[in-house]
Structure 1
Amino acid sequence: MLDTAETPAETGINERIAERVRELRAARGYTLDALAARCGVSRSMISMIERGAASPTAVVLDKLAAGLGVSLASLFGGEQEGAPSEPLVRRAQQLKWRDPESGYTRRNLSPPGWPSPFQLVEVEFPAGARVAYETGSRESAMHQQVWVMSGRVDIVIGDTLHALQQGDCLAMRLDRPLIFSNPTSKAARYVLAICDAPAT
Protein backbone atom coordinates (compact mmCIF):
# COMPACT_ATOMS: atom_id res chain seq x y z
CA MET A 1 0.00 0.00 0.00
CA LEU A 2 1.30 3.47 -0.86
CA ASP A 3 2.02 6.03 1.85
CA THR A 4 -0.52 8.80 1.25
CA ALA A 5 0.77 11.22 3.91
CA GLU A 6 1.86 14.48 2.32
CA THR A 7 5.24 16.04 2.95
CA PRO A 8 5.53 19.86 3.22
CA ALA A 9 7.06 19.91 -0.29
CA GLU A 10 4.09 17.97 -1.71
CA THR A 11 1.66 20.34 0.03
CA GLY A 12 3.52 23.28 -1.57
CA ILE A 13 3.27 21.70 -5.01
CA ASN A 14 -0.45 21.09 -4.56
CA GLU A 15 -0.83 24.79 -3.77
CA ARG A 16 1.16 25.60 -6.90
CA ILE A 17 -1.08 23.33 -8.98
CA ALA A 18 -4.15 24.96 -7.40
CA GLU A 19 -2.96 28.43 -8.37
CA ARG A 20 -2.07 27.35 -11.89
CA VAL A 21 -5.44 25.68 -12.55
CA ARG A 22 -7.26 28.77 -11.23
CA GLU A 23 -5.14 31.05 -13.47
CA LEU A 24 -5.65 28.93 -16.60
CA ARG A 25 -9.40 28.55 -16.02
CA ALA A 26 -9.82 32.30 -15.45
CA ALA A 27 -7.72 33.16 -18.53
CA ARG A 28 -10.04 31.01 -20.66
CA GLY A 29 -13.20 32.35 -19.05
CA TYR A 30 -14.40 28.90 -17.99
CA THR A 31 -16.74 28.41 -15.04
CA LEU A 32 -16.20 25.37 -12.83
CA ASP A 33 -19.14 23.71 -14.58
CA ALA A 34 -17.77 24.50 -18.03
CA LEU A 35 -14.34 23.06 -17.22
CA ALA A 36 -15.94 19.99 -15.65
CA ALA A 37 -17.91 19.40 -18.85
CA ARG A 38 -14.78 19.83 -20.99
CA CYS A 39 -12.50 17.50 -19.06
CA GLY A 40 -14.71 14.91 -17.39
CA VAL A 41 -13.58 15.80 -13.85
CA SER A 42 -16.37 16.62 -11.40
CA ARG A 43 -17.03 20.23 -10.44
CA SER A 44 -16.47 19.39 -6.77
CA MET A 45 -13.08 17.80 -7.48
CA ILE A 46 -11.94 20.79 -9.55
CA SER A 47 -13.05 23.10 -6.74
CA MET A 48 -11.07 21.06 -4.20
CA ILE A 49 -7.99 21.08 -6.45
CA GLU A 50 -8.25 24.86 -6.87
CA ARG A 51 -8.43 25.28 -3.09
CA GLY A 52 -5.44 23.00 -2.57
CA ALA A 53 -7.71 20.68 -0.58
CA ALA A 54 -7.12 17.59 -2.77
CA SER A 55 -4.07 15.62 -3.87
CA PRO A 56 -5.06 14.90 -7.48
CA THR A 57 -3.70 11.88 -9.33
CA ALA A 58 -1.75 12.12 -12.58
CA VAL A 59 -4.81 10.85 -14.49
CA VAL A 60 -7.05 13.60 -13.04
CA LEU A 61 -4.42 16.26 -13.74
CA ASP A 62 -4.04 15.01 -17.31
CA LYS A 63 -7.80 15.34 -17.85
CA LEU A 64 -7.69 18.88 -16.44
CA ALA A 65 -4.74 19.74 -18.69
CA ALA A 66 -6.62 18.41 -21.74
CA GLY A 67 -9.69 20.45 -20.81
CA LEU A 68 -7.56 23.56 -20.44
CA GLY A 69 -5.65 22.88 -23.69
CA VAL A 70 -2.20 22.62 -22.08
CA SER A 71 0.32 19.87 -21.33
CA LEU A 72 0.30 18.08 -17.98
CA ALA A 73 3.77 19.47 -17.25
CA SER A 74 2.51 23.04 -17.54
CA LEU A 75 0.25 22.53 -14.50
CA PHE A 76 3.43 22.29 -12.41
CA GLY A 77 5.18 25.16 -14.19
CA GLY A 78 5.00 28.91 -14.10
CA GLU A 79 7.01 31.42 -12.15
CA GLN A 80 7.16 31.56 -8.40
CA GLU A 81 5.30 34.66 -7.25
CA GLY A 82 7.61 37.68 -7.16
CA ALA A 83 10.47 35.84 -8.84
CA PRO A 84 11.47 36.67 -12.43
CA SER A 85 11.92 33.75 -14.81
CA GLU A 86 15.52 32.72 -15.49
CA PRO A 87 17.04 30.48 -18.18
CA LEU A 88 18.76 28.31 -15.53
CA VAL A 89 17.25 26.22 -12.77
CA ARG A 90 19.50 24.26 -10.39
CA ARG A 91 18.73 20.65 -9.47
CA ALA A 92 17.81 21.61 -5.90
CA GLN A 93 15.25 24.13 -7.19
CA GLN A 94 13.42 21.80 -9.59
CA LEU A 95 9.84 20.97 -8.59
CA LYS A 96 9.20 17.33 -7.73
CA TRP A 97 5.75 15.75 -7.45
CA ARG A 98 4.55 12.24 -6.58
CA ASP A 99 1.41 10.69 -8.01
CA PRO A 100 -0.58 9.49 -4.97
CA GLU A 101 -2.08 6.60 -6.95
CA SER A 102 0.88 4.96 -8.74
CA GLY A 103 3.74 6.35 -6.64
CA TYR A 104 5.64 7.62 -9.68
CA THR A 105 7.54 10.87 -9.20
CA ARG A 106 8.09 13.57 -11.79
CA ARG A 107 10.68 16.34 -11.65
CA ASN A 108 10.29 19.44 -13.82
CA LEU A 109 13.78 19.87 -15.30
CA SER A 110 13.01 22.99 -17.36
CA PRO A 111 13.36 26.51 -15.90
CA PRO A 112 9.92 27.57 -14.59
CA GLY A 113 8.24 30.37 -16.49
CA TRP A 114 10.95 30.54 -19.15
CA PRO A 115 9.42 31.04 -22.63
CA SER A 116 10.17 27.88 -24.58
CA PRO A 117 8.14 25.64 -26.94
CA PHE A 118 9.16 22.51 -25.02
CA GLN A 119 9.68 21.23 -21.50
CA LEU A 120 11.76 18.42 -20.02
CA VAL A 121 10.51 16.18 -17.21
CA GLU A 122 12.36 13.38 -15.41
CA VAL A 123 10.24 10.48 -14.15
CA GLU A 124 11.04 7.76 -11.61
CA PHE A 125 8.62 4.92 -12.31
CA PRO A 126 8.26 2.26 -9.56
CA ALA A 127 8.26 -1.47 -10.20
CA GLY A 128 4.79 -2.64 -11.20
CA ALA A 129 3.44 0.90 -11.64
CA ARG A 130 0.78 1.63 -14.26
CA VAL A 131 -0.79 4.94 -15.34
CA ALA A 132 -3.49 5.16 -18.02
CA TYR A 133 -4.09 8.57 -19.63
CA GLU A 134 -7.16 9.42 -21.68
CA THR A 135 -5.31 11.96 -23.83
CA GLY A 136 -7.31 11.09 -26.93
CA SER A 137 -9.90 13.70 -25.91
CA ARG A 138 -7.57 16.67 -26.50
CA GLU A 139 -8.76 19.26 -29.01
CA SER A 140 -5.19 19.75 -30.23
CA ALA A 141 -2.76 16.84 -30.06
CA MET A 142 0.71 17.59 -28.66
CA HIS A 143 4.10 16.02 -29.37
CA GLN A 144 6.02 14.10 -26.72
CA GLN A 145 9.15 11.94 -26.68
CA VAL A 146 10.21 9.42 -24.04
CA TRP A 147 13.87 8.52 -23.52
CA VAL A 148 14.51 5.65 -21.10
CA MET A 149 17.55 6.18 -18.87
CA SER A 150 17.27 2.92 -16.92
CA GLY A 151 14.94 -0.04 -16.55
CA ARG A 152 12.01 -0.89 -18.79
CA VAL A 153 8.88 1.07 -19.63
CA ASP A 154 5.99 -0.33 -21.65
CA ILE A 155 3.93 2.27 -23.49
CA VAL A 156 0.64 1.47 -25.20
CA ILE A 157 -0.54 4.11 -27.67
CA GLY A 158 -4.02 3.26 -28.86
CA ASP A 159 -3.64 -0.46 -29.64
CA THR A 160 0.13 -0.48 -30.19
CA LEU A 161 2.55 -1.69 -27.50
CA HIS A 162 6.12 -0.31 -27.37
CA ALA A 163 8.43 -2.12 -24.92
CA LEU A 164 11.22 0.38 -24.22
CA GLN A 165 14.59 -0.57 -22.74
CA GLN A 166 17.47 1.61 -21.52
CA GLY A 167 18.53 4.06 -24.24
CA ASP A 168 15.37 3.67 -26.35
CA CYS A 169 13.50 6.80 -27.41
CA LEU A 170 9.87 6.89 -28.56
CA ALA A 171 8.21 9.85 -30.31
CA MET A 172 4.45 10.15 -30.10
CA ARG A 173 1.43 12.40 -30.54
CA LEU A 174 -0.95 12.76 -27.62
CA ASP A 175 -4.05 12.05 -29.68
CA ARG A 176 -4.99 8.55 -28.46
CA PRO A 177 -5.34 6.81 -25.08
CA LEU A 178 -1.91 6.25 -23.56
CA ILE A 179 -0.78 3.73 -20.94
CA PHE A 180 2.61 3.73 -19.18
CA SER A 181 3.57 0.60 -17.20
CA ASN A 182 6.61 -0.98 -15.63
CA PRO A 183 6.22 -4.78 -15.81
CA THR A 184 9.49 -5.49 -14.00
CA SER A 185 10.55 -5.79 -10.34
CA LYS A 186 12.92 -2.79 -10.63
CA ALA A 187 12.18 0.91 -10.84
CA ALA A 188 12.68 2.67 -14.18
CA ARG A 189 13.75 6.23 -14.99
CA TYR A 190 12.97 8.19 -18.13
CA VAL A 191 12.95 11.71 -19.50
CA LEU A 192 9.95 13.24 -21.24
CA ALA A 193 10.42 15.98 -23.83
CA ILE A 194 7.09 17.75 -24.20
CA CYS A 195 6.22 20.27 -26.89
CA ASP A 196 3.47 22.65 -25.76
CA ALA A 197 2.72 23.70 -29.32
CA PRO A 198 -0.13 21.69 -30.91
CA ALA A 199 1.00 18.87 -33.21
CA THR A 200 0.50 19.43 -36.95
Structure 2
Amino acid sequence: MPFRPPRIGPVIQTERKQRRLTLEQLAAQSGVSRSMLSQIERGETNPTFAVVWALTQALGINMADLLGEGAGPDDADGIEVVPAAHTPLIRSTDGSCELRILSSPRTAGATEWYELTIAPGGSLDSEAHAAGAVEHLTALTDGIRITSGDSRVSLKQGETARYAADVPHEIANLSDRPARGFLVVLLR
Protein backbone atom coordinates (compact mmCIF):
# COMPACT_ATOMS: atom_id res chain seq x y z
CA MET A 1 0.00 0.00 0.00
CA PRO A 2 1.64 3.30 -1.01
CA PHE A 3 2.18 6.07 1.52
CA ARG A 4 -0.03 9.10 1.11
CA PRO A 5 1.37 12.24 2.74
CA PRO A 6 -1.20 14.19 4.74
CA ARG A 7 -3.14 16.84 2.84
CA ILE A 8 -2.74 19.69 5.27
CA GLY A 9 -3.43 22.55 2.85
CA PRO A 10 -7.22 22.07 2.78
CA VAL A 11 -7.29 21.67 6.57
CA ILE A 12 -5.33 24.91 7.07
CA GLN A 13 -7.61 26.75 4.65
CA THR A 14 -10.78 25.41 6.32
CA GLU A 15 -9.53 26.27 9.82
CA ARG A 16 -8.43 29.74 8.68
CA LYS A 17 -11.78 30.48 7.04
CA GLN A 18 -13.76 29.16 10.02
CA ARG A 19 -11.91 31.73 12.12
CA ARG A 20 -12.56 34.40 9.46
CA LEU A 21 -8.86 35.09 9.08
CA THR A 22 -7.26 36.42 5.93
CA LEU A 23 -3.94 35.01 4.73
CA GLU A 24 -2.31 38.23 5.99
CA GLN A 25 -3.82 37.83 9.47
CA LEU A 26 -2.76 34.20 9.79
CA ALA A 27 0.70 35.12 8.51
CA ALA A 28 1.00 37.78 11.22
CA GLN A 29 -0.21 35.40 13.95
CA SER A 30 1.94 32.45 12.90
CA GLY A 31 5.08 34.10 11.58
CA VAL A 32 4.68 32.13 8.32
CA SER A 33 4.79 34.31 5.21
CA ARG A 34 1.62 34.98 3.24
CA SER A 35 3.14 33.46 0.10
CA MET A 36 4.12 30.27 1.98
CA LEU A 37 0.60 30.00 3.45
CA SER A 38 -0.90 30.36 -0.01
CA GLN A 39 1.41 27.63 -1.38
CA ILE A 40 0.54 25.32 1.53
CA GLU A 41 -3.21 25.83 1.07
CA ARG A 42 -2.91 25.07 -2.65
CA GLY A 43 -0.84 21.93 -1.94
CA GLU A 44 2.17 23.29 -3.83
CA THR A 45 4.65 22.86 -0.99
CA ASN A 46 5.27 20.47 1.88
CA PRO A 47 5.96 22.58 5.01
CA THR A 48 8.60 21.79 7.60
CA PHE A 49 7.70 20.62 11.10
CA ALA A 50 8.47 24.11 12.44
CA VAL A 51 6.00 25.70 9.99
CA VAL A 52 3.32 23.13 10.83
CA TRP A 53 3.89 23.77 14.54
CA ALA A 54 3.60 27.55 14.07
CA LEU A 55 0.33 27.12 12.16
CA THR A 56 -1.24 24.79 14.72
CA GLN A 57 -0.34 27.19 17.52
CA ALA A 58 -1.72 30.21 15.65
CA LEU A 59 -4.96 28.40 14.78
CA GLY A 60 -5.29 26.76 18.20
CA ILE A 61 -5.63 23.27 16.74
CA ASN A 62 -4.10 19.94 17.64
CA MET A 63 -1.21 18.68 15.48
CA ALA A 64 -2.99 15.32 15.14
CA ASP A 65 -6.11 17.05 13.77
CA LEU A 66 -4.01 18.82 11.18
CA LEU A 67 -1.89 15.85 10.10
CA GLY A 68 -4.28 12.96 10.75
CA GLU A 69 -6.08 13.08 7.41
CA GLY A 70 -4.39 10.66 5.03
CA ALA A 71 -1.58 9.90 7.45
CA GLY A 72 -2.47 6.25 7.94
CA PRO A 73 -3.47 3.20 5.97
CA ASP A 74 -6.56 3.33 3.76
CA ASP A 75 -8.30 0.61 5.78
CA ALA A 76 -8.11 -0.84 9.27
CA ASP A 77 -6.31 -3.99 8.04
CA GLY A 78 -3.66 -2.04 6.14
CA ILE A 79 -0.06 -1.41 7.08
CA GLU A 80 1.27 2.10 6.82
CA VAL A 81 4.77 2.35 5.35
CA VAL A 82 6.50 5.71 5.47
CA PRO A 83 9.35 6.03 2.96
CA ALA A 84 12.61 7.26 4.46
CA ALA A 85 12.42 10.39 2.30
CA HIS A 86 9.07 11.29 3.93
CA THR A 87 10.29 10.89 7.52
CA PRO A 88 10.45 14.41 9.00
CA LEU A 89 13.84 15.57 10.23
CA ILE A 90 14.53 18.31 12.78
CA ARG A 91 18.03 19.81 13.06
CA SER A 92 19.27 21.91 15.96
CA THR A 93 20.16 25.49 15.09
CA ASP A 94 23.88 24.73 15.49
CA GLY A 95 23.57 21.62 13.29
CA SER A 96 25.00 19.25 15.92
CA CYS A 97 21.77 17.30 16.54
CA GLU A 98 19.28 15.60 14.25
CA LEU A 99 15.95 14.10 15.27
CA ARG A 100 14.09 11.89 12.79
CA ILE A 101 10.43 11.88 13.81
CA LEU A 102 9.39 8.22 13.84
CA SER A 103 6.05 8.62 15.63
CA SER A 104 2.74 9.07 13.89
CA PRO A 105 1.39 12.62 13.72
CA ARG A 106 -1.68 11.23 15.47
CA THR A 107 0.29 10.70 18.70
CA ALA A 108 1.92 14.17 18.76
CA GLY A 109 1.48 15.79 22.13
CA ALA A 110 1.04 12.45 23.93
CA THR A 111 3.73 9.99 22.81
CA GLU A 112 6.53 10.88 20.44
CA TRP A 113 9.57 8.87 19.36
CA TYR A 114 12.67 9.84 17.49
CA GLU A 115 15.93 8.53 16.12
CA LEU A 116 18.55 10.86 17.58
CA THR A 117 22.01 11.59 16.17
CA ILE A 118 24.41 13.96 17.95
CA ALA A 119 27.76 15.08 16.51
CA PRO A 120 30.91 14.65 18.64
CA GLY A 121 30.84 17.24 21.42
CA GLY A 122 27.25 18.25 20.60
CA SER A 123 24.24 18.26 22.86
CA LEU A 124 20.47 18.50 22.75
CA ASP A 125 19.41 20.95 25.46
CA SER A 126 15.71 21.05 26.34
CA GLU A 127 13.63 23.27 28.54
CA ALA A 128 11.16 21.58 30.86
CA HIS A 129 8.24 19.89 29.09
CA ALA A 130 4.74 19.72 30.60
CA ALA A 131 4.33 18.49 34.18
CA GLY A 132 4.76 14.72 34.42
CA ALA A 133 6.64 14.37 31.11
CA VAL A 134 9.17 11.52 30.97
CA GLU A 135 11.80 10.61 28.36
CA HIS A 136 13.30 7.20 27.59
CA LEU A 137 16.60 7.16 25.70
CA THR A 138 18.12 3.93 24.42
CA ALA A 139 21.79 4.36 23.46
CA LEU A 140 22.80 2.77 20.18
CA THR A 141 26.40 3.94 20.73
CA ASP A 142 28.67 4.64 23.70
CA GLY A 143 29.39 8.14 24.97
CA ILE A 144 25.92 9.56 25.66
CA ARG A 145 25.42 11.53 28.87
CA ILE A 146 21.96 12.41 30.21
CA THR A 147 21.38 15.31 32.59
CA SER A 148 17.92 15.75 34.10
CA GLY A 149 17.62 18.46 36.72
CA ASP A 150 20.48 17.77 39.17
CA SER A 151 20.94 14.11 38.10
CA ARG A 152 23.50 12.95 35.55
CA VAL A 153 24.36 9.53 34.06
CA SER A 154 26.49 8.21 31.18
CA LEU A 155 25.15 5.40 29.01
CA LYS A 156 26.84 2.52 27.27
CA GLN A 157 25.60 1.03 24.03
CA GLY A 158 22.33 -0.84 24.58
CA GLU A 159 21.46 0.83 27.88
CA THR A 160 18.21 2.76 28.40
CA ALA A 161 17.78 5.77 30.67
CA ARG A 162 14.35 6.89 31.87
CA TYR A 163 14.23 10.37 33.36
CA ALA A 164 12.06 13.34 34.20
CA ALA A 165 11.57 15.70 31.27
CA ASP A 166 9.49 18.24 33.17
CA VAL A 167 12.75 19.86 34.29
CA PRO A 168 15.54 21.27 32.10
CA HIS A 169 17.43 18.31 30.59
CA GLU A 170 20.26 17.56 28.20
CA ILE A 171 21.47 14.69 26.03
CA ALA A 172 25.17 15.14 25.25
CA ASN A 173 27.69 13.25 23.13
CA LEU A 174 30.98 12.93 25.01
CA SER A 175 32.62 10.72 22.39
CA ASP A 176 34.67 11.54 19.30
CA ARG A 177 32.14 9.79 17.02
CA PRO A 178 28.50 10.56 16.21
CA ALA A 179 26.22 9.29 18.99
CA ARG A 180 22.92 7.61 18.13
CA GLY A 181 19.90 6.57 20.11
CA PHE A 182 16.14 6.14 20.17
CA LEU A 183 14.25 8.73 22.19
CA VAL A 184 10.68 8.25 23.40
CA VAL A 185 8.88 11.23 24.96
CA LEU A 186 5.78 10.59 27.07
CA LEU A 187 3.81 13.78 27.64
CA ARG A 188 1.09 13.45 30.25
TM-score range, shorter chain: 0.5 to 0.7
User: What is the correspondence of 1:166-185 to structure 2 with a 5 Å cutoff?
Assistant: 166-185=157-176
TM-score, normalised relative to structure 1: 0.58
Cα deviation, residue 173, structure 1: 1.9
Q: Aligned partners of 2:165, 2:109: CA distance in 1, in Å?
A: 19
Q: How many residues align?
A: 138
The structure-2 alpha-carbon separation of the partners of 1:184 and 1:12, relative to structure 1 and needing over 3 Å to count, comes to: farther
Q: Which entry has the higher C-alpha Rg, 1 or 2? A: 2
2:66, 2:160 → 1: CA distance? 27
Partner of 1:88: 80
Give the counterpart of 2:102 among 109, 130, 144: 109
Report the residue type matching 2:106 in the other structure.
Answer: G
Quickly say closer, same or farther: Cα 1:89–1:109, change in 2 above 3 A: farther
In the alignment, does 2:5 pair up with 1:18? no
1:194 matches 2:185: yes
- 1:140 pairs with one of 131, 134, 140: 131
1:98 equivalenced with 2:91 (yes/no): yes
Letter in 1 for 2:161: L
Distance in 2, Cα, partners of 1:124 & 1:115: 20
Deviations 1:37-85 (A, max 9, x none): xxxxxxxxxxxxxxxxxxxxxxxxxxxxxxxxx9xxx79x9627x6343
Distance 2:127 2:104 in 1: 27
TM-score when normalising by structure 2: 0.61
- Cα distance in 2, alignment partners of residues 115 and 178 from structure 1: 20
Q: Work out the CA distance in 1 between the residues paired with 2:108 and 2:145.
A: 32
Contact 1:85 1:114 in 2 (8 A): no
Aligned-residue offset at 1:13: 5.2
Q: Which runs of 4+ in 1 moved over 6 A?
A: none
Please report the RMSD computed on the Cα atoms of aligned residues, expressed in angstroms. Answer: 3.1
Task: Give the Cα–Cα distance (whole angstroms) in 2 for the partners of residues 89 and 140 of structure 1.
Answer: 33
Q: Distance in 2 between matches of 1:103 and 1:78?
A: 29
Q: Structure 1: 5+ residue runs without aligned partners?
A: 1-10, 29-69
* Equivalent position to 1:153, from 135, 144, 148: 144
CA change 1:168–1:91 in 2 (3 A) is farther
